[in-house]
Amino acid sequence: MAENPFFAPSALPYRLPDFARIREEHYLPAFEHGMAEQLREVEAIVADPEPATFANTVEALERSGQILYRTTIVFSSVAASDATDRIREIETEIFPKLTKHDDAIRLNRALYERIKQVSTDDPQEAWLLEKYRVDFVRAGADLSEPEQRRLRELNEELTRLATAFSQNLLKASTASALVVGDPAELDGLSESAIKAIEKDGEYVLPLLNFTNQPALAELTNRDTRRRLYELSVNRAPENFGLAVRLATLRAERAALLGYSDHAAYSVADQTAKTTEAVEEMLGKLVGPAVANARREAEALTQEAGFPIEPWDWSFYAEKVRKSRYDFDGAELRPYFELDRVLRDGVFHAAGELYGITFTERDDLAGYHPDVRTFEVFDTDGSPLGLFLFDPYARPTKRGGAWMNNLVDQSHLFGHLPVVMNNLNITKPTQGPTLLTFDEVTTAFHEFGHALHGLFSDVRFPRVSGTEVPRDFVEYPSQVNEMWATWPSVLANFARHHETGEPVPAELLEKMKAAEKFNQGFATVEYLAAALLDWAWHKLAPGQTVEDPEAFETQALEGAGIAFELVRPRYRTNYFAHIFSSGVGGYSAGYYSYIWSEVLDAESVEWFKENDGLRRENGDHFRSALLSVGGSMDVMDAFRTFRGHDPRIEPLLERRGLQ
């Protein structure tokens, strides 16, 4: 026990998990010990003979389960970023047990009754108290014993199914990869990109987690494009059945909790509040987006000289972009070297706006050699937290890009934040790592999440950093994307990796002129995924789906978003956002990205109205929004920052959908 690194807080700076000591055999004992310890702590709260107070009930719950917290947060990070076969085995074994453990707390009637007896006049305490009350009700604390038994069964089954879905998808990224023997079939990709995917005399192009693989924009061989596209949309076919089962069980669970469907359950504690609000917003965008995409398709067909197929879209979009705007995105790549983007772009913008500084700590290791660690200092030089950066793709890493916490900020424990960004950039076999502009934007986006965690200044871990409604959490990160193209920031990092010359002004002008090009495609692709998610989670309790692919087609047609040349960004079989987490994740929540973008577009407008990259602006955004986490009504925080309720017009302008 004494040798298990999870049984005591890490002695490293900022309580960074001691990855050098952590072994796979440590996880299961730490999970078991941590769950048992927290249940003992909960029983002590329930058995306390003193009247229920905030301190001896709610705050005591906040303090409970520290071993389990440390174990879970590290294991979840490693399972997402570097999952060995043994890690996947542990996932399968432990996640249902964790679900059962959570139910043992949330469905503890005596604990719930004690929480209901608590009262407090302190605003922060009252806010957290209400959070706990809502958590318990939404978890089923008010249900009868037979209903709770069924709920526990549903939760465990949902967790098992979601874990299987996620693991199938991870395996499919390589199992369904495009494999070619002749590099000539990969014509259009750079020499370095082709070398990076060479393995034992073959060339293996793994799948990223969305429908349109980036290589589709570059591959000149039409049959290669077709093969890559079809591998992408047909991967992990076994996940269709899992998705049906997940959606139908979620519908049953929602009914048990008093909701008409899972979508209604999902949005009830979000800023949207109602399914009608979500449907109204999405409905406003569908018509203009489809009309825009059809106009774009006409231009692409004209460029190609034949009726294009879905696998042709990205390739000919780049040709039209080049002919219409004399702009080729590949021309920018030599100016976007990874380390310079990070230091002279992402960090530089944060320094200019918020006054923070960064020092790399080679002495503080991550879970993989690719992980880099930076100490972050506030404007007065005081420690702010740690930032870990894991940029490269690997077979053991899930697709996409994300931020997670390794230590949550809270004054209750005196913890400063340790946050992490994961990207999925192909690692070159030699030479510099050169990024696409989309990858640059993603780096800024994910660091926006990191700032949300780093600037957290709250008392309780339950409301720390990004612990905000799901349809609000993307908002600060989307705002941070604006600095990727801010002239002074761009000039600071966009320099040729060999000559150091700045990116030519005329190339930037072309990029700016082409910004709204292909927005019809991008919006339809996104809306199709959001509405597909919505259709799965509007299933009524007891409703069955015999043919999931036919259901997909009918859902898109019914929503008016079906367009044969633009498939959803994620099809059902690889829609990890909504199906890789049993009862949570982004299920009935993929709308959140564009819901948050309404706030983002408003905020970008505010920054531009107030001269952009100024410390005064950063201080206002930090104090009004980033620092408060979920410790208050986030829409009140938005109004404090912006001065009025959000409007949709700036978003329509941005996407060319007026």
Q: Give the model confidence (pLDDT) of 186-225 as tens digits.
A: 999 988 889 989 988 999 999 988 999 999 999 999 999 9
Catalytic one among 446, 474, 525, 552? Answer: 446
Predicted pLDDT at 209: 87
| pLDDT tens digits, one per residue of 402-439 | 999 999 999 999 999 999 999 999 999 889 999 999 99
What does DSSP assign to residue 552? H
* Closest among 38, 29, 85 to 63, alpha carbons compared: 38
Cα pseudo-dihedral 428, 429, 430, 435, rounded to 10: 0
**Calpha distance 534→166 (Å, rounded):** 20
Q: Rounded distance, CA 16 to CA 26, Å?
A: 17
Provide the pLDDT for residue 1: 57
What six digits make up the tokens of 178?
């495009």
Would you state the pLDDT for residue 192?
Answer: 85
pLDDT at 56: 98
pLDDT of residue 2: 63
Task: Please enumerate, as own/partner, the contacts of 161-164 that have beta carbons within 8 Å and a separation of 24 or more.
Answer: 161/242, 161/245, 161/246, 161/249, 161/582, 162/246, 162/579, 162/580, 162/581, 162/582, 162/585, 163/91, 163/92, 163/95, 163/96, 163/582, 164/92, 164/242
Task: Give percent helix, percent strand, percent coil of the chain, each to the nearest 5.
Answer: 60, 10, 35
Q: Residue 247 in 3-state DSSP?
A: helix
Is residue 592 predicted with pLDDT exceeding 70? yes
CA distance 573 to 553: 14
pLDDT in tens, 98-150: 999 999 999 999 999 999 999 999 999 999 999 999 999 999 999 999 999 99
Q: What is the pLDDT of residue 356?
A: 98
pLDDT, tens digit, 9 for 90 and up, residues 43-55:
999 999 999 999 9
- Where would I find the H helices in 10-122? 24-47, 60-63, 66-81, 85-106, 109-117
pLDDT at 656 over 80: no
3-state secondary structure of 518: coil
Confidence of residue 581 (pLDDT cuts 50, 70, 90): confident
Query: What tens digit of pLDDT does each residue of 225-277 get?
Result: 999 999 999 999 999 999 999 999 999 999 999 999 999 999 999 999 999 99
pLDDT over threshold 80, residue 658: no
How many residues are listed for the chain in this entry? 658
Residue of 245, 277, 243, 274 whose CA lies nearest to 259: 274
Question: What contacts 493, CB < 8 A, 6 or more positions away?
Answer: 336, 340, 341, 343, 344, 345, 348
Query: pLDDT for 1-31, tens place per residue?
Result: 568 999 999 999 999 999 999 999 999 999 9
Confirm whether 157 is a catalytic residue.
no
Q: Tokens 């082409």, residue?
A: 514
| C-alpha separations of 502 from 20, 481, 484, 493, 571 in Å | 40, 20, 15, 8, 40
Dihedral of alpha carbons 346, 347, 352, 353, sign: positive
* pLDDT of 72 over the 60 cut: yes
Shortest CA distance to 598 belongs to which of 562, 569, 541, 638? 638
Look at residue 582 in the predicted model and tell me its pLDDT. 65
Mean of per-residue pLDDT scores for the chain: 95
Paired tokens of 619: 């201080």
